[in-house]
Amino acid sequence: MPSIMVTKIFDGLYGFIWQDYRQNNCNSYLIDADKRILIDPGHSHLFSHVEQGLLSLRIDPLSIDLVLITHAHPDHMEASLLFKKPTMLTMSETDFAYLRELAGDFYKLPVPDFFLREGDLEVGSLQFEVISTPGHTPGSICLYWPKKGALFTGDLVFEQGIGRTDLPGGSGKQLKESILKVEALQAQYVLPGHGRVVSGAGAVKDNFKQVRDYWFNYL
């Protein structure tokens, strides 16, 4: 049984932080408002991590309105295949094409209901900004929630770390540009695809500085 940790980040936002470093899986996040959005559900065979976390919050997984994928790697998106209508699925069109090219006929692909494009995204009463952040994959995105200062970074940037660029479609140059792009938002929270959440404007600012000072030397 994978270790389960449900973290209330603030009212209306929960993190399912992956704790078992013996197996690769991502952090998942639930926005619980008039619409329920699940960001990056993770691997299918490890989805009990999220499912049990939802149930501990007395939330039926079938009540999720939208599953949003930050990038097309199985450890972030495979469990989206477990969801059925009326739950909707979205990701970037670039990464969907990237996934189809890599997977061919050997991997069952989820089919998005709509594609994420850079700019404003409205889900119910919630207002977000979709930010194109290639580098880890060609179509990676970050999701910014301006009202809360919350930046969901996928595998772009972590606490004291950055996403890999040595996988197919990766680019160090693009990753660096993408990190600088989201740093300019001056977010209050960095909610990464792996590792701990970075909370507070000062901690977020310091984290970006550490990333620039150390990791940019390797890109």
- Quick: pLDDT tens for 48-83: 989 999 999 999 999 999 999 999 999 999 999 999
Confidence of residue 97 (pLDDT cuts 50, 70, 90): very high
Domain map (residue ranges) of the chain = 6-218
**Region 141-145 average pLDDT:** 98
Q: How crowded is residue 202: how many other Cβ atoms within 10 Å of its Cβ?
A: 9
Q: CA 69 to CA 76: how far, in whole Å?
A: 7
pLDDT value for 105: 62
Per residue in 187-212, pLDDT (tens digit) is: 999 999 999 999 999 999 999 999 99
| Residue 3 pLDDT greater than 80, yes or no | no
Q: How confident is the model over 113-132, as a mean pLDDT?
A: 98
- Convert 17-52 to b/e letters by CB count within 10 Å (16 or more is b): bbeeeeeebbbbbbbbeeebbbbbbbbeebbebbbb
pTM for the structure as a whole: 0.96
DSSP 8-state secondary structure symbol assigned to residue 147? T
Instruction: State the pLDDT confidence band at 1, using cuts at 50, 70 and 90.
Output: very low
Task: Give the least confident one: 1-5, 86-90, 95-99, 121-125.
Answer: 1-5
Other C-beta atoms lying within 10 Å of the C-beta of residue 106: 6
- Do 171 and 135 meet the contact criterion of CB atoms below 8 Å apart? yes
DSSP 65: -
Q: Which CATH superfamily is domain 6-218 in?
A: Ribonuclease Z/Hydroxyacylglutathione hydrolase-like (3.60.15.10)
5 pLDDT above the threshold of 90: no
